[in-house]
Every structure is written in C-alpha cells, then in structure tokens.
Amino acid sequence: MQFDLLIINGLLMDPGFGFTKKADIGIKDGLIARIFDKGRMTKRVIDKFPAENIIDADGAVVSPGLIDIHVHLREPGHENEETVLTGSQAAAAGGITSLCCMPNTHPAIDNQETVKFVTLLAEKSDCRVYCVGAITKNREGKELAEIGDLVKAGVVAVSDDGNYVQNPEMMRRALEYAKMFDIPVISHAEDEYLAAGGIMNESFASTRLGIPGRPAVAEEIAIIRDIKLAGLTGGRLHIAHVSTEGGVEAIRRGKAEGVKVTAEAAPHHFMLTDDLIGERFDTNLRVNPPLRTEADRQAIIEGLIDGTIDCIASDHAPHTEEEKDVEFDQAPPGMIGLETTLALSITGLADKGYLTLSDLVRKMTSNPAAIVGIPCNSLREGEMADLTIFDPEARWTVKKDKLRSKSKNTPFIGWKLKGRVLATVMNGRVTYRSK
Amino acid sequence: MSLSSRHLLQLEGVPKEDLELILDTAESFREILDRPIKKVPPLRGKTIVNLFYEPSTRTRISFELAEKRLSADTLSFTTTMSSVRKGETLKDTVRNIEAMKIDMVVVRHSSPGVPYYLTQCLEANIINAGDGTHEHPTQGLLDIFTMRRKYGKVDGLRVLLVGDIRHSRVARSNIWGLKTLGASVAICGPTTLLPYDAERFGIDVYTNLDEAMEGVDVVNILRIQLERQKAGLFPSQREYSNLFGITGERLKRVNKNFTIMHPGPMNRGVEITNEVADGPASVILSQVTNGQAVRMAVLYLLAGTDDADVTSQTEKG
C-alpha cells in the first residue's frame, strides 16, 4: 500500500480507547491506513519513502489530535485580534486539530449566516472548527436565539460566553430548549451584580493594590444556580473556565447528585495566582474570570485529579498590543492560550505528578469531544488521521515572535515549559511541524 | 545618602532607611519654609511635569510650589478626560511630553498601577501623586512627618485611621509607612467600607469608633465620598456621622489627648465637626505646610543632586 505520510517510532497514546504502545503509522487519504507494531514496518518501506513525508516520532508521544472547546477566534468583527485562519494556525502549533469557537463575535454567532461564514472560512484553515452558538439573541440575555436553526447550521453547543445569563428564568428555558437538540448549554458563570466593576479577584492582593475586586462568590453563586436549573430541567450544563474552590465543590456535589454537569479549567487558572498582578501590573494577567488565590489554584488541580473538572480548555482570548498596552484597569480581559495549553498542562500537571500523561491527554481529547459531541478519533486503522506528536520531556521557551496567533497577549512569554509539539496532523495533512 | 529607588511609586516595600532619609531631609526643608525667602536652587535646570488625570487642588498646588521653591521649571497638565475618550493613549501622551526633554513626572491617575506603568514607558523619575485607590505616598509621608514632629518619633505610636478605608489610597500609604517605621496601626469604619481581608496588613480592625479610639495617639480621619452612599455602601450621611463622625462630644467621651489629622478635603459636619477640625488637637493645617517640606525632600532626593547641604543655600534675587 502506498501511504501519504508515515509517523514512525512514536509511542501511541490513546487514552480514549485505552492503550499505550510503540508503533508506526501509515496515513492515506486522511485516514490511519495501517498501524505497524514496533519493528513491523520494514526498513525497505521506510527507505524508499520520501523523507519529507516521514515524521520521526522517536522519543515522542503520538496521540489523537487535541481538542480545545473554548476558543475566541474573533472573526467576524475583530480580525485585528485574530482570524479563523490565524487562530487555526495557532491551534495547529499547539497540537490542536479541533476547536470550538465562541459566539461573542460581531455580529454574534446567533444566526445561521454567521455560522456558515465561519464554517466556510474554517474549510481553508488548519483546524477543524465547530461553532458554539449564542444562547440568546446578540448574547443580551433577553430572548432565546434560534437554537434549532443554529444546530441545523452545525453549532455543537450554545453559550453567551463573556456574559452570564443573568436572568434565571431565561437560563431555565435555555436548558430546557437545548435539551431538545441534545447540546450542552455552556455557562460563563459570574454573577454580574457581584462582579460589577471588578478588575481582578477580590482578595488581599486586590486590597493591597486598591484594584476593585470580583469576589469568588460571584462565580460560586452563578455555578450553584445553574446546577440547580440543570437539575430541574434535566438539561446538559457545561461550566466554562472554573476558577474557584467553591465552584469546583459545587460541580463535585452536582455530579454526585446526578445532575448532567461538566466543567473545564483553563491553564492560567491552575498555573497563576492573583498576587502576581502587583509585581508589574501586567495587563496580560487581566482575565475573566480573574486569576484567583493559591487555595483556588489547588482546588482546580484537585478537581482535575478527581474528575470533577472533565477537560482542559484554553479560553484563548486574543487582544492586540494596542488594546493591552494601557492602564491596567483599561485593558480588555483575556489572554491567548492555544499554543501553550499542552505545554502548560504538562509542566503544571503531568510533570508535577498530579495527572498521568494519559489522563492529561484524555482531558484534551476524548473528554472535551464527548461534552460537545464532536468526533474524536482513536488510534486505530480506518479512523480519521488527526494526530498530535509531542515530546513530553522537551523544554522550550515561549517567545513572542514565534507565536502564530495574531495577538501576543500572554503572560507566559519568557516562561520555560516542558512538553513540545513536534508535529500536528489534521485529516492526514501536516498542519504544523516544529523546526 | 541617596534613596534606593529612582521613583516614588508607593510606600509598600520602601525600606525604613529610605523613609527616614526622606523625613530627615524634609526637616531641613521645613526649616526653609519658615524663612523670609523660601526658595533654594538645587533643582535649577530640572524640568518637572505635573500630570493630573484627576482633579486636585491641594496636591497639585503643593507639588507645584515645592518644585518652584527648589528652582525647578514646572509645567502642570490637568485633564479629567480619560485616554480612551481623548483618543490618545496615556503612553503616547507621556512619551510626547518626555520628548520635550523633561526630568521628572508627578502623576495622579484614577487607575491603580499607572505610576509603575510610566516607569516602563519613560526614562524620567516618576512620583506617584495618587493612583486610584492604590497609594498616595507623599500624603502618607507628610502624615507620618507631621506625627514625627509632634511626638519626636514614629516607633511605638498608635495611629487610628477612620472612614472609607477601602477606597482610600491615603490609608494604604499610611499603613505601609507607619508599619515600616514601627507604629501600630488600626482602622475603623463601616464594614462596607473596610477592605477585604484587611487584617492581613497586620493591623487591628474596628467598627466601633469609641473602642477603636482607646489608647490611640493619632486619629487620622479620611474623607467620606458622598457617592459611596449612592452606591449603597452606607445608608445616609446622618447615620455615617452618628456612627463614625469625630465630634467634640466624642473626644470628651473617650477622654484622651488625641492628635487629629485629616488629609482633606473635609466634609465638615459629616466625618468631622468644626469644633474638632479647628480645635486645639487638630494639626490639619500643619499637615498642609509639612506637605511642602516632604514633597521638596522627595523631589530633591529623587533628582539625585549632589549639593551637600540644602539648607545653607538660598536663592539670590
């Protein structure tokens, strides 16, 4: 059989299906055509194969393509920050082959046309892109968006991300209505009244700096309310970017009570704390929900370990340097993450012994895929060839000029991280290869 | 002797030696202020810009006068327009001003951290004249200077700050400076106007003013901003005044010799009565005079001039 691409000498890690083994992979027509157990692929096959079509994964892990279900691609409306194309290129560099983009674009993804527009752009990009539609029209929390229409156009979930659905009655109806289409409602859980005017977490760090705080309880109350509503309606609830100890605890309890609730955590919430802000007033540390305390950070890690938090998602939120190079409280919240999520997770979780590499991969592949109901391949013959090849031991330094995202707003520039993406294959095509 | 930093951004983290150097230097300048000619030459040829993004009368005039009395060339720029509304970033504004060759910037801004941000944009020395609700280091220093003059020392003094601590940059600068110099600090105000987790400053926290005042040497009364009532943080001026107003009657009741301070501007009849503000315990106007000396000292030390003894020099003509 003639292959398009060979990946040799890698350690295949397929936590969704449940095996880890050394093997070589032959890819053909976007599919995993053959898997050769270690040493079964003859030297003759390799020797006569064009070298540029061989990825030598010696010492590296080959996993199903990573999936990030919380990404802001900014297009349409804020193409100065990111586009579908640049976002997909950043995703590929981060080992990601599928992502979900959030609907807080302009116009918002609250109608079929915008879904079609983004989907069309995504066809020529380096990542599979699934749209999250808005829960309410223009994400204003007043009237339900045409969720049926959105689902027909391909959205895999709904969310007013960036805004909490402040009216509990509206959220109840959203959970009930979305149930009809078996899609999750993703909640950006922060009570707007309690968080109003807050620029960072409310803690002694905000007290010291005199910066207005967003209390942890704003998130906790919001999560608890939504879990109650999910319990009432039987709808599927997904909590985006959990950042508080109380939030983790509420989700844990909700799961124990049988509520259909899932949750994600972003790397910055298990890597950083709010006391860093006072060092340099780095506007790249301004994010919503805000960086919290060490106790919260530990609780997020605990939640990832015990499965309360199902998956890791970047909450990739690009903002231009012009937007961020201002007074701390004038900067828009958010940081990019597509290119650092895997390395931060390896550095902060796997390398520290909190999660095995296999569990980590599961939280970045099959788990997020199951939440939004999108395909996630297994490493078996006949499956789609979405693959991430990474060296979990390799160290690299995050450099601003190497980032592929159109925006460079990350506080991790200059950080030395462990875990490096060597290549990304999406639909049998190499979308990223490290130099 | 020189300071360990070329900027004055906050009192948090400023070493004791630096604080003492500023206070000692301020003593020399304070003496100059009692002379018939109050001008000395050490900052001749230096250009200082006072950049006020928030309205201010007292602090701006105090800095301007301090600069003039040190023979610096000064320029004051006041705007209440935010950079966003103005359409030019703060960074561009200050870099344009610096391009006109200036040496120091005194900045007041509503956003915490702006003085630090300016150190990243500019070469000039930066002095924080109040950044949002973060710090107001020269006010903290002049309050401490006033206490030191009255008691001869700061170490061991018991100081109570009363009022809207949460939104007070003056309170934060007082707390850090006083603690570094060995004073014990307490705060008192309505629970809604106390900062989150304030005990972690290493201070005592009260909500009962009579209790808080027991055993205290200095009561520093902070301005209550009336818009806090509209934001629902306390029910009425009347109630605030009843619970936290410093009145002559309260002073008699607690029955101790206090020093009464207020950084101004005062809401007479709300947080302080005329009887107290203008009474024998009040050093409120001395604070203003001392502010001159302290700001002169800060400007002088940050400018890093080599003139050995400032007090021996007097501007001629």
Contact A349, A332 (CB under 8 A): no
A248 & A322 share domain: yes
Q: Where are the alpha helices (DSSP H) in A143-215?
A: 147-153, 168-179, 192-195, 204-209
The per-residue pLDDT for B228 is: 82
A258 & A354 share domain: yes
The answer, yes or no, to whether residue A261 has pLDDT greater than 60, is: yes
Domain boundaries, chain B: 16-136+291-304, 137-287
Taken in order A313, A314, A316, A317, is the CA torsion positive or negative? positive
**Cis bond leading into B280, ω under 30°?**
no
A258 & A404 share domain: no
Residue partners of A354: CB distance under 8 A and separation at least 6:
A301, A304, A305, A348
Token pair, residue A22, equals 């050394």
The answer, yes or no, to whether residue B193 has pLDDT greater than 60, is: yes
Q: What ranges make up the beta strands (E) of A308-356?
A: 311-312
Tell me the pLDDT tens digit for each residue of B61-110: 999 999 999 999 999 988 876 655 667 899 999 999 999 999 999 999 99
Rounded CA-CA distance A181/A172 in Å is: 15
The structure's pTM equals 0.94
Any idea what DSSP says for residue B12? T
Tell me the pLDDT tens digit for each residue of A360-416: 999 999 999 999 999 999 999 999 999 999 999 999 999 999 999 999 999 999 999
Residues of A whose CB is below 8 A from B117: 281, 327-328
pLDDT band at B226 (very low <50, low <70, confident <90, very high): confident
Smallest CA–CA separation between A201 and chain B, in Å? 11
SS3 A132: strand
Rounded CA-CA distance A268/A410 in Å is: 10
The per-residue pLDDT for A245 is: 98
Nearest CA in chain A to B85: A330
CATH fold of B137-287: Rossmann fold (3.40.50)
pLDDT band at A1 (very low <50, low <70, confident <90, very high): low
Domain of residue A288, residue span? 65-372
The per-residue pLDDT for B308 is: 45
SS3 A9: strand
The per-residue pLDDT for B315 is: 44
**Cis bond leading into B115, ω under 30°?**
no
Choose among A207, A210, A330: nearest Cβ to B198: A207
A271 & A324 share domain: yes
Element (H, E) at B147: helix B137-151
Cβ neighbours around B34 below 10 Å, total: 8
Residues of A whose CB is below 8 A from B84: 330
**Neighbouring C-alpha atoms within 13 Å toward the C-beta of B46:** 25
Please identify every residue of A annotated as catalytic: 315
Domain B16-136+291-304 = CATH 3.30.300.10: no
- Closest C-alpha to B138, from B108, B96, B117: B108
A20 & A106 share domain: no
Which residues sit opposite A420 in a β-bridge?
Answer: A391
CATH of the domain at A271: 3.20.20.140
Domain total in chain A? 2
Token pair, residue A151, equals 């689902």
pLDDT band at B55 (very low <50, low <70, confident <90, very high): confident
Rounded CA-CA distance A76/A131 in Å is: 12
Look up residue A36 and give its amino acid. F
The per-residue pLDDT for B80 is: 74
Q: What ranges make up the beta strands (E) of B59-203?
A: 73-78, 104-109, 125-131, 158-162, 184-188
Tell me the pLDDT tens digit for each residue of A327-358: 999 999 999 999 999 999 999 999 999 999 99
A83 & A222 share domain: yes
Between A20 and B195, the higher pLDDT residue: B195
Choose among A215, A325, A328: nearest Cβ to B113: A328
A252 & A214 share domain: yes
The per-residue pLDDT for B316 is: 41
% of chain B residues with pLDDT over 90: 85
Range 319-348 of A in CB contact (< 8 A) with B? 322, 325-330
Average pLDDT over residues A247-273: 98
The per-residue pLDDT for A141 is: 96
Least confidently predicted of A100-114, A220-234, A287-301, B253-267: B253-267
Quickly tell me which residue has 């005017």 as its tokens. Answer: A197
The answer, yes or no, to whether residue B313 has pLDDT greater than 60, is: no
The answer, yes or no, to whether residue B111 has pLDDT greater than 90, is: yes
% of chain A residues with pLDDT over 90: 94
Rounded CA-CA distance A56/A379 in Å is: 17
A152 & A46 share domain: no
A200 & A117 share domain: yes
A192 & A237 share domain: yes
A346 & A273 share domain: yes
Judge whether B91 is closer than 8 Å to chain A, CB to CB: yes
Tell me the pLDDT tens digit for each residue of A108-151: 999 999 999 999 999 999 999 999 999 999 999 999 999 999 99
| Domain C-terminal end among A329, A348, A372 | A372
Judge whether B176 is closer than 8 Å to chain A, CB to CB: no
Rounded CA-CA distance B195/B189 in Å is: 10
Q: Where are the alpha helices (DSSP H) in A65-213?
A: 84-93, 112-123, 147-153, 168-179, 192-195, 204-209
pLDDT band at A42 (very low <50, low <70, confident <90, very high): confident
The per-residue pLDDT for B225 is: 85
A343 & A233 share domain: yes
The C-alpha angle with vertex B287 and arms to B281 and B293, in degrees rounded to 5, equals 145
Which residues sit opposite B157 in a β-bridge?
Answer: none
Look up residue B125 and give its amino acid. N
Rounded CA-CA distance A293/A281 in Å is: 17
Compute the CA torsion angle B11, B16, B17, B19 (nearest 10 deg). Answer: 40
Smallest CA–CA separation between A289 and chain B, in Å? 18
How distant, in Å, are the alpha carbons of B94, B156, B195, B287 from that of B185?
A: 37, 10, 15, 19
| Domain C-terminal end among A347, A372, A397 | A372
Phi/psi at B202 (5° precision): 80, 40
Rounded CA-CA distance A376/B70 in Å is: 72
Nearest CA in chain B to A324: B89
Judge whether A193 is closer than 8 Å to chain B, CB to CB: no
Contact B121, B95 (CB under 8 A): yes
Averaged confidence pLDDT in chain A: 96
Average pLDDT over residues A230-235: 98
Q: What is the CA radius of gyration of chain B?
A: 19
